[in-house]
Chain A
Amino acid sequence: MSATPRPELVVDGLPGKRRPRWIELATSADHKDLARILVCGALGFLFIALVELLLMRLQLAIPENTFLSPVAFNRMLSLYGGTAIFLFALPLALGLFYYVAPLQIGARGTALPRLGQIGVALWAAGATILYAGLLYTPSEAGINPLAPLSELTFLSSNGVDAWAAATGLCTLGFVFLAIDLLTTLRNLRAPGMAWRRVPVFAWAATVSSWLILVIGPVLLAALTMLMIDRNYDGVFFAESGAPLLWQHLSWIFFSGAYMLILIFALGAVAEIVASLSGRPLLNRGTVMGSMVAIAVLGTLAWMQNMLTAPIGLGWTYFAMLMSLALIVPFGLILFNLIATMAGGLLRMRAPLLFAAGAVSAISIGLAAELSHSMVAVGWQLKNTTDATAATHFALVGGAVFGGFAALYYWFPKMTGRTMGENLARISFWTIALGLLLAFGPLFLAGGFEGQVIDAYKFYGDAGVSAYNLVASIGSVILAAGIAMTLVNAIQSRGNGPVAGHDPWHGETLEWLTLSPPDPHNFDVLPDVRSAHPMRDIRAAIANHTQRREAPAGERQPVA
């Protein structure tokens, strides 16, 4: 053949020189780039949330401290809540879903990449607005700004408006990301990957996305009403309206978000346990079904947060029934996770260590929530620091332990390098100790002495001074432990040991492609025949090598 150029090879459009990396990243609609923005941003905001937590704990270290003024404390509290939920936990979960789930199902991208791009942009805008509030006056209305305190009559600065706009934009962004994820998971699965073969983490992404589609608009509606109340003389949540309406709508969202973070963590733990114990997850079907049950029941239990409100006793029983019903799906998932570990050959690497920490911390948090859901007990323990401790055990277990387990596990896929193992271990034990010391004493202060939540000070004669001092010391340790993993991630990004495409001998398709994957994710895709395609591929390769190497006379029969 002559040397004529091949017509199918288009070279005209290739850029001569690439634009700077940050512009590439900021304008990319690739799910991996968008997810990296979300995950890096979420980890950055985790650091900021820790600073806010430490400032509040410093104020509460000794009785009647004057380190922070009441107004400054309430502002910290409001910022901390918004940051921890909307800028750290939810985007970390969604970011990892958004990175990993399309790879796990063998998709070459997401179905609606521009929608995902808008989602991330909206989230970034929300984050900017929340912290732009620092330039004038942040919200003082608390973690969940209960109406009517959040109404214009009682808080007339723009802080609450900024809070509402910020969380609203973030939520809208999450909804867009969820739509993109759902469409991708619905339409772009590799040939042969039926729903029953979808990896557990990708299934957790599906359930979480549906959950966001249900609870996101509920919060958006509530925020819209709050904005109308504050800026256009509305009376939705005023005394002449329905102050309890805000509680119903916001608690539907926050209960659902709580469940989302736990579903995310359990999904990641399931993948890690299966990979690092060398055997498939026991009873995948049960685990996947239980995730759906958690999403539904956990959201329906929203009135668990309103046991002391003027609502009928029957409603509180309904809330208690839904919360207690959660025992079954959570119990089944934990049973199968632990049973999978029990018979496997565990490689006790960092992801598995953090996964075990997640299971342990979540179990403590949920066990405490169990007694809070018993109505008469809730009358005593709601709005005490006992509730703070329960929520923090479950959510630090889910978002920090679970999130870090996922980070250690998928970091090699995202960067091509493994995170440092020794620092990971030190970080793990520091976080574990810090969590126990920071929130363990608050169980006692709330349970025995009834110390109330969200208060900027306590009195010396209340009998809670020692508990609070220990909790303040513990939160410093907790923050140090978390900072170690953040440093580990930054360090390992450029200097960690090169990981290769499949460092953990994973079961799912993301380990088939390069680390980090090319923009198009996969060159070729296998025909998926089971729930663990990589296991099948490795078996096929072993089989093939064995046949080639075995002498002709002893050739094994092909099964």
Chain B
Amino acid sequence: MTPHSPGTDQIDTLLWIGFVASAIVVLAINGALVYALRKSRAARGGEPRPLDGGRRIQFRVAGALTLFAAAIFVVSVIFTEKASETPASGAAGLASAEGEPLTIQATGQQWLWRYDYPNDAFSYYKLVVPVDTTVELELLSTDVVHTWDVRELSGKRDAVPGKVNRIVFRADEEGTYEGQSATLSGQSYASMQTAVEVVSPQAYEDFVEQQKADIESAQDRVVGLLEKGETP
């Protein structure tokens, strides 16, 4: 995964810290296990050694483990706090969004994502956002639990019916980022995908205007047909 947002930068670093910590644990335990098995084979023929019960050793081991756990806890909190900060929009970002994040609603429904833009335009499947601009996604669901997951831009979050969950990111590069829903939501769960298209601020403005115009003309057409008594 290549991070493309300040939050995922932090997550990526913490991911590697976690990986190293896990690797140390696995190597330490399995190394000790293999050492113990080999050593006792070498000692075959002798008597079992009397046990050095060592209350002090227990305390030392417990102390070392506590320090290890505490260190991971502190590091994790620091990085998690940084990852959940709301970054400010950059200079290349959308001018109208200066100071305020651009708020877009992302609604999960079986088995599609719908995005509602501030100017009442909406799109399905594909989310278009301006580059270098802080975007806040309000995650909603109309039916079951869905999880919005575009790894390059953000950690995943659940969309739970009746609740609002938030995702904040600031894409640093134009391009298309693929994502997939990550909670079992029924039959077509595996194909419930989404894509985030990061474009220049101008292209974003054009897109939402065009989208709005298209939607309105389509609506007018349908209303016109209905008024004439035809089925659209």
**Per-position contact with A for B77-116: 1 when CB-CB < 8 Å, else 0?**
1011001100000000000000000000000001000000
- The range of chain B's interface size is 35 or more
Say whether A452 contacts B182, CB under 8 Å.
yes
Say whether A313 contacts B84, CB under 8 Å.
yes
Say whether A360 contacts B29, CB under 8 Å.
yes
Q: Does B66 belong to the interface (CB within 8 Å)? A: yes
Q: Does B155 belong to the interface (CB within 8 Å)? A: yes
Say whether B25 contacts A370, CB under 8 Å.
yes
| Cβ < 8 Å to B, chain A residues 323-349 | 324-325, 327-328, 331-332, 334-335, 338-346, 348
Q: Does A167 belong to the interface (CB within 8 Å)? A: no
Shortest CB-to-CB span from B115 to chain A, Å, is 19
The interface residues of chain A lying within 8 Å CB-to-CB of B14 are 374, 376-377
- Closest chain B residue to A336 by CB distance? B58
Shortest CB-to-CB span from A260 to chain B, Å, is 21
In the docked arrangement, what's the CA distance between A52 and B165, Å?
35
| Cβ < 8 Å to A, chain B residues 155-189 | 155-158, 160-165, 180-189
Say whether B37 contacts A328, CB under 8 Å.
no
Say whether A450 contacts B19, CB under 8 Å.
no
In the docked arrangement, what's the CA distance between A436 and B77, Å?
32
Pick from B19, B26, B43, B83: contact of A364, CB under 8 Å:
B26
The interface residues of chain B lying within 8 Å CB-to-CB of A280 are 51
- Closest chain B residue to A143 by CB distance? B184
In the docked arrangement, what's the CA distance between A141 and B1, Å?
30
In the docked arrangement, what's the CA distance between A365 and B22, Å?
10
Q: Does A282 belong to the interface (CB within 8 Å)? A: yes
| Cβ < 8 Å to B, chain A residues 447-477 | 447-448, 450, 452-458
**Per-position contact with A for B13-30: 1 when CB-CB < 8 Å, else 0?**
011011101110110011
Q: A345-B44, A360-B33 are in contact. Are A283 and B147 (CB under 8 A)?
A: no
Q: A70-B190, A146-B183, A367-B25 are in contact. Are A380 and B162 (CB under 8 A)?
A: no
Say whether A332 contacts B62, CB under 8 Å.
yes
The interface residues of chain B lying within 8 Å CB-to-CB of A530 are none
The interface residues of chain B lying within 8 Å CB-to-CB of A74 are 184, 186-187
- The range of chain A's interface size is 35 or more
Interface of A, helix, strand, loop or mixed by DSSP: helix
In the docked arrangement, what's the CA distance between A384 and B62, Å?
32
Q: Does A433 belong to the interface (CB within 8 Å)? A: no
- Closest chain B residue to A455 by CB distance? B190
**Per-position contact with B for A201-229: 1 when CB-CB < 8 Å, else 0?**
00000000000000000000000000000
Say whether A457 contacts B182, CB under 8 Å.
no
Pick from A243, A279, A341: contact of B36, CB under 8 Å:
A341
In the docked arrangement, what's the CA distance between A483 and B58, Å?
40
Pick from B22, B61, B189: contact of A367, CB under 8 Å:
B22
- Interface window among B68-76, B197-205, B211-219: B68-76
Say whether B80 contacts A375, CB under 8 Å.
yes
Say whether B156 contacts A457, CB under 8 Å.
no
Q: Does B208 belong to the interface (CB within 8 Å)? A: no
Q: Does A422 belong to the interface (CB within 8 Å)? A: no
Say whether A325 contacts B69, CB under 8 Å.
yes
Q: A244-B163, A371-B19 are in contact. Are A363 and B25 (CB under 8 A)?
A: yes
Q: Does B210 belong to the interface (CB within 8 Å)? A: no
In the docked arrangement, what's the CA distance between A553 and B63, Å?
55
Pick from A153, A282, A366, A381: contact of B51, CB under 8 Å:
A282
Q: A370-B21, A450-B151, A453-B182 are in contact. Are A328 and B11 (CB under 8 A)?
A: no
In the docked arrangement, what's the CA distance between A453 and B72, Å?
26
In the docked arrangement, what's the CA distance between A343 and B33, Å?
12
**Per-position contact with A for B28-67: 1 when CB-CB < 8 Å, else 0?**
0110110111011101101111010110001001100110
The interface residues of chain A lying within 8 Å CB-to-CB of B65 are 327-328, 331-332
In the docked arrangement, what's the CA distance between A328 and B69, Å?
8
| Of A345, A379, A452, most B-chain CB atoms within 10 Å | A379
Shortest CB-to-CB span from A271 to chain B, Å, is 16
Q: Does A434 belong to the interface (CB within 8 Å)? A: no
Q: A149-B185, A356-B37 are in contact. Are A456 and B190 (CB under 8 A)?
A: yes
Say whether B68 contacts A243, CB under 8 Å.
no
Say whether A283 contacts B58, CB under 8 Å.
yes
| Of B36, B68, B165, most A-chain CB atoms within 10 Å | B36
Q: Does B144 belong to the interface (CB within 8 Å)? A: yes
Q: Does A286 belong to the interface (CB within 8 Å)? A: yes
Chain A residues proximal to chain B, CB less than 8 Å? 70-71, 74, 77, 140-142, 146, 148-149, 153-155, 239-244, 277-280, 282-283, 286, 308-310, 313, 316-317, 320-321, 324-325, 327-328, 331-332, 334-335, 338-346, 348, 356, 359-360, 363-364, 366-368, 370-371, 374-384, 447-448, 450, 452-458
Query: 21 A-B contacts, Cβ less than 8 Å apart?
Result: A70-B190, A155-B186, A239-B161, A283-B54, A308-B158, A313-B80, A313-B84, A317-B80, A325-B69, A338-B36, A342-B35, A342-B36, A342-B39, A343-B48, A343-B51, A345-B46, A359-B29, A364-B26, A371-B15, A383-B182, A453-B184
**Additional 4 contacts, C-beta under 8 A, given A308-B157, A324-B73, A342-B36:** A338-B33, A379-B11, A384-B182, A454-B183
Chain B residues proximal to chain A, CB less than 8 Å? 1, 10-11, 14-15, 17-19, 21-23, 25-26, 29-30, 32-33, 35-37, 39-41, 43-44, 46-49, 51, 53-54, 58, 61-62, 65-66, 68-70, 72-73, 75-77, 79-80, 83-84, 110, 139, 143-145, 147, 149, 151, 154-158, 160-165, 180-191
